[in-house]
Chain A
Amino acid sequence: MMRTADALTVERLSAGYPGRPVIRDLVLPPLPGGAVTALVGPNAAGKSTLLKAFAGLVKAAGRVTFGDHDLLRLPLAARADLIGFMPQSLPQGVALSVLESVIAAFEASRPGALAGADAARRAITTLDRLGIADLALDTLDRLSGGQRQLVSLAQALVREPRLLLLDEPTSALDLRHQVTVMEAVRALAAEGRIVVVVLHDLNLAARWADRVVVLDHGRAVAVGTPAQALTSATLADVWGVAARITLGPNGVPHVVVEGALDAPPVPAAAPGVPPENSTAA
């Protein structure tokens, strides 16, 4: 069973690309284990960069503690044992089967940790857990968009990380697959993991996340339950839209955007800020 006591704490975190800082002095209240935290915000707000800073994929300074670990000072391989990162997309044209890709994700930086047969068994167990064991022998390239996302999730999950970072796992998915992925994400959090997920769709965040962090220009503008963080005022300030928030019967807020405000606060592509999809290769 997971340890539930560990929380993720962010203190004065700065992160970004050479010559292009994206996040400056970010402070977040501790993100608890067993909960799903959604990172939302407009394009170039720093959502993906924050996730990548946790995962060690971009240069970062400050302090990110997870249990007893100072994440930013852990070597890559040690960090990889704690963290599962799911990038926005899988590359095309890869001649690997689904199962092989998950085994490779397990073996990558610690070959020989398990005998080959055990690693394969562990990989298929992960696929089984996500309900996609039937895809195990399919080639990655033949999968549909939703299947690809689930396989990508399996790759992030095979080492049983205690901290799961998902970069827009539902982008380009139809409604049914969005639900499938988010249900899987909830179940993973329920086992004590910390799950941090970047989402564009505010209603998806409101429906599935326990906590929402609204980022804008690399700063946390609002943090709290979906109902606390997603208010008309925040939406007007951050996205520049007029929005009505209604509460559903179960207390889940629902965002209805009525239109753009006359003066949007900042153009989407501010100079010096990398586009949302830029990768730190």
Chain B
Amino acid sequence: MQKFHVYRHGDFLVSFSVFVLIALGLLFIYSASYHSGDSVSVFATRQLMWASIGLCLCLIIWKIDYRHFVSSAYLLFAVNIILLLSVLFFGSKTLGAQRWLRFGFFRLQPSEFFKITMILFLAKYYAGLPSYKKGYFYCIIIPFLFIGPAIVLIMKQPDLGTALVLIPVFFALSYIAGTRPVDILYTIIAGVLCAVPGYFLLKPYQQERIKVFLNPEHDPLGVGYQSIQSKIAVGSGGILGKGWLKGTQTQLDFLPERHTDFIFSVIGEEWGFLGAILVIFLFAVLVILAFKIANESRDEKGKLVASGLGVLFLVHLFINAGMTIGIMPITGLPLPFVSYGGSSLITMLVAVGLLQSIYSRRFMF
């Protein structure tokens, strides 16, 4: 074990695509904040700092056997729930949402970390489930009793985007772990059926929020405006784009949240269809490799964690890129590795560390 060079057995292509994505992120965070009056490169510099911290964490996690993380998943889950609760009570507010915990000079966003915590939790749970317990009760109800309250806490912040990511990840993991497809189908149908009468119990302003969430056009001055400006940005990029630092939508301040949630629009505008395809391609590579790692993993836990992370990347990409081009509702959700934001970048690099940790140990028995 001492002689085993764990870093040599990782997947080079995973590391490579992640590096390229982070580099693209830095490039376009720079462009997005170029004109906005702030000192030129504050966001890019800070993102570089987060990336270095994230990479160190990634290497540390890579070195540690992923099974340790899976075994302590329940503890991690409990800690994360406590963090989420403290956000509710002592969290700091920005733009109407209460998502952050203040620790001295930096702010922590526990809902970001919960994405990984949930995957570890489910991996441990499903891997330990004996085959005679594969019924509805053990496969859906029990895990949902744990995951459900956490999702409610996250939605209360309100962080609808993260909640929206967690639900498909849960179903996908459950499916891969062997839950019968009909059980999943029933659950989804039941969820929809509950949501409809539940909607009428909400207060008018909450209903209003949901209407806007489902249909941005309902709020033409807020979210609806963002939606159309983002589409104009991407569409006007054409095939080759307007060039780096030359996007008019971006540089003239029409695009909101340019360096965070709408970074994909910036890339689409300045590097055009080719730039957007490049980002999607890099993510596709990452997702496929995560599934390959899952497939080659030596045990069930590794398989579940790796495939869960793959689904996490995929859903993130689809929701984030989808909202910038008008096929998904607008929610505050970052594009992994690319969007500005410390908690998100670090979480995603931890995910990469876990993937590599699983892959490096594929031959060990």
Chain A partners chain B: no
Residues of A within 8 A of B (CB): none
